[in-house]
Structure 1
Amino acid sequence: MNIVLLDAITFGETPLECFSELGEVEVFQTTVPEQTQQRIVNAAVIVTNKVVITKEHMQSAKALKLICVAATGTNNVDLNAAKELGIEVKNVAGYSTDSVIQHTLSMLFYLMGHSRYYDETVKSGTYSKSGVFTDVSKPFFEVKGKKWGVIGLGAIGRGVANLAKAFGAELFYYSTSGVNRTEDFQRTTLEKLLSECDIITIHAPLNEKTANLLDYEQLLTCKDGAIVLNLGRGGIINEAAVSRLVDEKDIYFGLDVFEKEPLPLESPLLSVKNSERLYMTPHIAWTSVEAREKLIASVCQNIRTTL
């Protein structure tokens, strides 16, 4: 059985030995669209994180039996074509829940505590020269007593909400699907959540209900000093609106996901004036060592149980 890994760079240094136990393995660190068809032509199994697999690719790979998506989302695979051609598609869910929850708090505290400013103040020697034992020029606040709004109450959103509650925050949630309900937290409308919450975290999938969910007019209603974090999917929050608002209003944003990845050099997010109000990470919330190990183990298990 020939197993082809198309974008192994996303797994970092995670051991891949389990694939060798299942068949002959070809590992490609990256694959551009022009290379895909040639690389999968003899594959029985394709492992892809974000490399797109089209109907034409499947038709050209005569031995193809299984496409393993090394992620939760399967929007990079033509699912209708796979079903038509009798090719199984398997994804992995739940492997990165704890990692994303942890990164949510990391982004929050970085912005809330003005970590960039204080780190640079010490390292630049400004603190050493000040003659004062402390620096209170950038006030920060406690989570306790603040209103925290969660958009998307799946496993990650619920995990974030539980930790926020442990810190003493008052929890509110907006279910983008209308399905997730709980008595543990207060359900509210999107409008009230945006206008009343001090902290807003997004943990929803991208679909017809969430695309461009937070545009300029919606975000403009946020409180002064509010912190808005997107750890769901790029496209849920309008990036042009974010780039405007950090320069127009006292509001802070943390973005780990973007509409197009990697973030284009021409993105307005890269030319904001008040960059201290914007914290961006390159889609890393899911990438803890433990999460990637769980991911690879689950992909291998999908191969074992399917073929």
Structure 2
Amino acid sequence: MHHVVFLERDSLKVKVRRPGFEHTYEEHARTNDDQVVPHLQNATVAIINKVGLSEETLAQLPKLKMVAIAATGYDRIDIAACRKRGVAVANIRNYAIHTVPEHVFAMVLALRRNLLAYRQEIEQGAWQKSEQFCLFTHSISELFGATMGIVGEGAIGRGTAAIARGFGMRVLFAYHASSKKKDVVLTPFDQVLAESDILSLHCPLTPATRDMIGINELRRMKRSALLINTARGGLVNESALVRALDENLIAGAGFDVLTTEPPTNGNPLLDLHRPNFILTPHVAWAAAEAMQFLVDQLIDNIEAWVAGKPQNLVT
């Protein structure tokens, strides 16, 4: 009989059905790194979200046979160690193809139309003192005809591209270290940096993509450009971004992710109190509809593996 253990139940705010095979079940609201081994001591199936599984940890869990990730990213799991030990790892696919692109454009529209700056001026009484019916204190730019550069040609990147095209934008997919798709026309990374009015990141965090946007890349971008990151913290050097905004190297940025989450020890982006920067707490994925799709697929992945027909494996 399988023993299923969910390490981070509070990371999902929707109903999670129990697997449809004979099993025992245990869940924990959250799990710290030093609790992983005790919590999984008797588990054959582990459900995790952001908890890490290193080779050292896996060596202490001889009963573990399957890891079901309640997310798409698996950068905190030692996949090579899982393969060596015969531990199957499955992730979630295509659950955020609407919610993340929508979040991207919520940020883009707010920044391109300077909504935060205008709201701030109204709160300070500027409109009330205006000599005419409107204020022209901040620039407003249309999306129609602008260029959207996208790093990451997976389902979310393509969903972002579809919305961009709906606005009448030109879309460029950038060639980058993790590019795999062969059915998308890819443009050299430096060209995408130079031509994009908006650059949106949708690629995984790997050793090759870590700090893929640093001060040199930011200098290659248009001074009128926006940088949006709803993918992974660590893709952008955060200190370099602060410098770029301070020096007006780019026009603004919208981030939903940080290098360390939660940022209990601080982060330079937390101190950016300015109308051309938006920071949200890793919620682009968290629409109720997307989350329910995620948890349904999560249990589907476990049931498929138990039935001998595994799906969505990354091992």
TM-score with structure 1 setting the length: 0.89
- Residue 4 of structure 1: how far off its partner (Å): 1.2
Bigger helix share: 1
Deviations 1:199-241 (A, max 9, x none): 1111111224322211101101221221111122222211111
Aligned to 2:42: 42
- Residue 141 of structure 1: how far off its partner (Å): 0.8
Q: Distance in 1 between matches of 2:209 and 2:34?
A: 32
Aligned to 2:292: 293
**The residue matched to 1:276 in structure 2 has which SS?**
coil
- Residue 17 of structure 1: how far off its partner (Å): 3.1
Q: Does 1:223 align with 2:222?
A: yes
Deviations 1:251-297 (A, max 9, x none): 2111112222223544222334x622211111211111111111111
Q: Distance in 2 between matches of 1:237 and 1:56?
A: 29
- Residue 173 of structure 1: how far off its partner (Å): 2.1
- Residue 132 of structure 1: how far off its partner (Å): 4.4
Aligned to 1:5: 6
Q: How does 1:134-283 map to 2 (within 5 A)?
A: 134-176=134-176, 177-181=178-182, 187-249=186-248, 250-272=250-272, 275-283=274-282
Q: Distance in 2 between matches of 1:108 and 1:114?
A: 10
Aligned to 2:52: 52
| Alignment length (residue pairs) | 303
Q: Once structures 1 and 2 are overlaid, which stretch shifts more, 131-140 or 32-41?
A: 131-140
Higher RCO (C-alpha under 8 Å, 6+ residues apart) = 2
CA distance 1:138–1:32, change in 2 (3 Å): same
- Residue 31 of structure 1: how far off its partner (Å): 0.8
Aligned to 1:74: 74
Note if contact 1:5-1:47 (Cα within 8 Å) is conserved in structure 2.
yes
Q: Distance in 1 between matches of 2:78 and 2:149?
A: 35
Identity among equivalent positions (%) equals 29
* C-alpha RMSD of the superposition: 2.3
Q: How does 1:78-93 map to 2 (within 5 A)?
A: 78-93=78-93
Listed as ranges, the gaps of 5+ residues in structure 2 are: 307-315
Residue 173 of structure 1 aligns with an amino acid whose one-letter code is: F
- Residue 6 of structure 1: how far off its partner (Å): 0.7
TM-score with structure 2 setting the length: 0.87
Aligned to 1:100: 100
Note if contact 1:194-1:221 (Cα within 8 Å) is conserved in structure 2.
yes
- Residue 84 of structure 1: how far off its partner (Å): 3.0
Q: Distance in 2 between matches of 1:128 and 1:23?
A: 65
CA distance 1:151–1:83, change in 2 (3 Å): closer
CA distance 1:61–1:152, change in 2 (3 Å): closer
Q: Distance in 2 between matches of 1:166 and 1:101?
A: 12
Deviations 1:79-102 (A, max 9, x none): 233333332222111111211111
Note if contact 2:69-2:90 (Cα within 8 Å) is conserved in structure 1.
yes
Q: Distance in 1 between matches of 2:81 and 2:194?
A: 44
Q: Distance in 2 between matches of 1:170 and 1:102?
A: 18
CA distance 1:77–1:192, change in 2 (3 Å): closer
Q: Once structures 1 and 2 are overlaid, which stretch shifts more, 230-239 or 81-90?
A: 81-90
Q: Once structures 1 and 2 are overlaid, which stretch shifts more, 173-182 or 41-50?
A: 173-182
CA distance 1:194–1:84, change in 2 (3 Å): closer
CA distance 1:266–1:65, change in 2 (3 Å): closer
